[in-house]
Structures are given as C-alpha cells and as structure tokens.
Amino acid sequence: MLYIGALEGSNVYLSPKHVYKMTEKQSKQLDEASRKKYAEDVLVPGHKIRGNRWYADNTRESIRDETLREGFMQVGAVVSKKDVATTSSKGRYLLKKQFAELFSPDFSNEQLKSLIVEWQKNNLSTGALARIALLKGTGLDNEEGVLVEFPNKETRKLSAGLSSVLSKAVIENFAINFFEKPVVLWLSESGKKVVARDDQLAKKIGIEVNASVNLPDIILVDLTSSAILIVFIEIVATDGAITNRRKEAMYNITDAAGFKRSEVMFVTVFQDKNSQAFRKAFENVTSNSLIWFSSEPNNVFILKEGAIKLSKLKTALE
C-alpha cells in the first residue's frame, strides 16, 4: 500500500494483485514514476511484471481474507471501498492515514513508540491490548531467572526462558482463574530439574510422584469442597504436547491411586495461537483435553472426542 500510494484520501486503491505480482526487481524501483506505473500496470489483464515474483497467484485469497479483511481491517488500519463488486479485480483497499503516518522516517524512536501506543489505544480492543501486553512482558531477557509465586504465597525461581515464563503464567494466572483451591503438586523445568514437589499431599491422595517417570512439567490439584481434580499440564515452548500415549501413561498413575478418570484433566500450554510451537504441535495434542494460551488467559479451548449434541454444546458456550 505504501509502495503504490494506496493511502486514505488518494484515488489509488490496492488489489491483492499488487501484492502477489510484486517482484524483487520491481521492489527496488523506488521513484514515484516507477511506483505509479506498477500500480497501473498490475491491473492491466495479461501484463507481465519483470523479475522473480514473491508470491503465487493462488495466494490472492489469503491476502484478501486473512491479511486484509480479517487482519488490517479488523484493527482499523485499512478501509475498503464499498462500491466495488466482490468479484472485481479492481483495487478497493486503502491504508488509513493515522496508521500510515506511523511509517514516517521523521520520528525519533521515542516519538514513534508514543505514537504506536496512542494508535493502539484508539484502535485495538481491550482484549487485543491485553494480549500485546502479555506477549511483550515475557521477561525472556531476564538472565536472573523467572520468579514464580505459588498459590500459598511461597516463591520459587526458575531459569530464564520461555518455558519458565509459561510455567509462571500457569501457576499465577491459569490456576487462579480456573481452580477453586489450587495446589502445586509438581513443578519441573527443562532438563527434568525438579523445582517443587509436595510429597505430603501426594502421599495423602495416593499419587506416586516419581521423577524417573515421564511426568509433565506441572501437576496441579484443585482441592474443591466436593471433590479433588488432578490436572496434568505440559508446557510447549518448542514441542512436547500431551499426546495420546502420554495421556495414557499419566492415567496409569491416577488409576493406581484409585481416581476416576472423570477426576483427571490434561492441559497443553502455548504462548499464543500464532506461535510456531502451536502450529507444529497442535496435530499431536490428545483429544479430551484442554489447550490454554498465556496470551488469552481467560479462555480455554476444549478438544472433545466424539459427537456432541448442539443443545449441550450451546449450554457450554453460554
């Protein structure tokens, strides 16, 4: 959009063609005349743009639907011309003025940071702002480690890294949001280093917590007034979701302790839905389990095996 000048207030509109027909050679022609000519030539049927193209023709739908309509337009960065037919190849998209101004080279770093924050406040939802804050505040550059506060107010320090940041989020956010009376039964980190274990509670409820067994990163217990809930949680920074095989291995532990399988749950934790780890591991996540993203702390996603009557599903969504 910036390249062809498809900015709010102009008569130049972007079509997905302007994106998927761009070539490496064309992108280096930065004078105004070349950019204007490209904007016009792309819309001419059969016209060939010289050079190696960045994208194939079959990317037009993802550019139009995912990037423009569901991406930039949803956050108020792009607007669409209303009088262009859906099937038309003409351009229809403009970059909004306030968003386009953020790309000005005239701002200092501090000025730009301030303007970005202002734009976000004016255009993004409360949920989107919270998600940005969580993703920015991971503390991955903290070489001193990650301090975790347990529900009983005790603290432990984990080594620096995304896995530790996600473990902290599980204990300080997930457990508090979704449990009535959470207790950390087991916490380990990369390298199978045991950070915390509650042997007294484990013995009391009959769970054998053995570091030599293939345990998950975290085991939480919800000591509700009516029943006990055992929750096995796997942190996925790169890989290692709770698979069918691992779920059965953990069931063996709770079966031996006499727990009903209805009293056991499994959760796989990722940083965000857009993370590479989630895209890589999702297909291996076991059914009848939950997925939780630290960037969306108030939501859980259920992977349910088998058909569910819509009436029951509707009740769950209310």
Domains recognised in the chain with CATH numbers: 16-103 (no CATH), 146-317 (3.40.1350.80)
Most confident of 84-93, 236-245, 275-284: 275-284
Query: What integer pLDDT is reported at residue 123 of this predicted model?
Result: 87
- Sign of the torsion angle spanned by Cα atoms 35, 62, 237, 316: positive
Q: What is the pLDDT of residues 244-298, one digit of tens each?
A: 998 998 999 999 999 999 999 999 999 988 888 898 999 999 999 999 999 888 8
Query: What integer pLDDT is reported at residue 141 of this predicted model?
Result: 47
Q: What is the mean pLDDT of the chain?
A: 87
Tokens coding 224: 């509700």
Compute the average pLDDT of residues 171-179. Answer: 94
Q: Does position 63 have pLDDT exceeding 80, yes or no?
A: yes
Query: What integer pLDDT is reported at residue 40 of this predicted model?
Result: 94
Query: What integer pLDDT is reported at residue 134 of this predicted model?
Result: 62
Instruction: Determine which of 26-30, 194-198, 314-318 has the lowest per-residue pLDDT on average.
Output: 314-318
Query: What integer pLDDT is reported at residue 58 of this predicted model?
Result: 86
